[in-house]
């Protein structure tokens, strides 16, 4: 198995710890659109992405969403195993944004190894610090950047992830990422279209002036 190539502290584990993980590791293929974990469900385990794309978001009581972070190849998701730390007092939902291959390390197995292994505990610390940095960035965006800049930054990020300027996304999809409403996003995109920055058609937002979009997003 090539799990060991994806798990950075594998070589720091004892033979017994390596066997423990190998013996309990689960491999899964998840279809695009599937919700893998949601806050109210059981402690799913740690997810290590082999290939694909996951999105972690929070949900309001009214069903509004906001994307907290995304996970790509080689990324590991800690908060799908929030039971491993009692101080994790929030709930996130994780869904596959693309068809995704991943490994699941059961939470209790990971927890027992983390308790005795300084390298694994420190690796976990770095993972959490990375997500923490994502979330701090998000707060700054929400508090201090106006929505036009956030939409611009989001379109640029999507174009970069997808490797194309012709984005197959709905206005609803953008609203869900940014914690906004579809109507508000539609209005903003029409304004962008009038400015010659994007071209809108059914289910597609095409970036026609990347430079202007970059200026707008302050990047």
Q: Which residues bind a second copy (CB under 8 A)?
A: 58, 60-62, 64, 66, 68, 85-90, 114-118, 121-122, 124-133, 135-140, 142-144, 179
Smaller CB distance to a second copy: residue 43 or 88? 88
> In this structure, are residues 40 and 91 in contact, taking their beta carbons and an 8 Å threshold?
yes
What distance in Å separates the CA atoms of residue 85 and residue 179, rounded to the nearest whole number?
Answer: 27
Smaller CB distance to a second copy: residue 164 or 219? 219
For the chain, give the number of residues.
Answer: 219
What distance in Å separates the CA atoms of residue 151 and residue 188, rounded to the nearest whole number?
Answer: 8
Token duo for residue 100: 């995704």
CB of 141 vs a second copy, minimal distance in Å: 10
Smaller CB distance to a second copy: residue 144 or 202? 144
φ, ψ for residue 24, nearest 5 deg? -120, -5
What distance in Å separates the CA atoms of residue 127 and residue 79, rounded to the nearest whole number?
Answer: 10
CB of 184 vs a second copy, minimal distance in Å: 13
CB of 68 vs a second copy, minimal distance in Å: 8
Closest CA to 163 of 207, 213, 103, 112: 207
CB atoms within 10 A of CB 176: 21
CB of 163 vs a second copy, minimal distance in Å: 25
Would the CA dihedral through 5, 9, 14, 20 be positive or negative?
A: negative
Smaller CB distance to a second copy: residue 44 or 100? 44
Smaller CB distance to a second copy: residue 117 or 208? 117
Smaller CB distance to a second copy: residue 116 or 172? 116
CB of 89 vs a second copy, minimal distance in Å: 4
Residue in the block written with tokens 């082999």:
50
CB of 10 vs a second copy, minimal distance in Å: 17
């Amino acid at each position: 198995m090539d799990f060991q190539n994806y798990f950075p502290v594998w070589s720091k584990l004892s033979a017994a710890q390596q066997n423990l993980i190998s013996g309990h590791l689960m491999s899964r293929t998840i279809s695009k659109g599937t919700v893998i974990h949601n806050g109210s469900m059981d402690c799913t385990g740690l997810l290590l992405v082999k290939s694909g794309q996951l999105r972690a978001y929070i949900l309001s009581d009214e069903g509004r969403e906001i994307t907290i972070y995304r996970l790509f190849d080689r990324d590991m998701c800690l908060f799908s195993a929030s039971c491993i730390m009692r101080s994790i007092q929030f709930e996130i939902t994780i869904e596959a944004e693309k068809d995704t291959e991943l490994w699941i390390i059961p939470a209790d197995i990971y927890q027992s190894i983390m308790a005795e292994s300084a390298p694994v505990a420190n690796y976990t610390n770095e993972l959490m610090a990375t997500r923490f940095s994502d979330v701090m960035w998000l707060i700054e965006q929400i508090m201090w950047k106006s929505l036009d800049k956030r939409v611009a930054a989001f379109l640029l990020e999507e174009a970069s992830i997808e490797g194309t300027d012709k984005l197959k996304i709905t206005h609803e999809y953008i609203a869900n990422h940014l914690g906004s409403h579809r109507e508000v996003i539609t209005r903003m995109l029409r304004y962008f279209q009038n400015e010659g920055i994007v071209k809108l058609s059914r289910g597609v937002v095409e970036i026609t002036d990347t430079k202007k979009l970059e200026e707008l997003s302050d990047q």
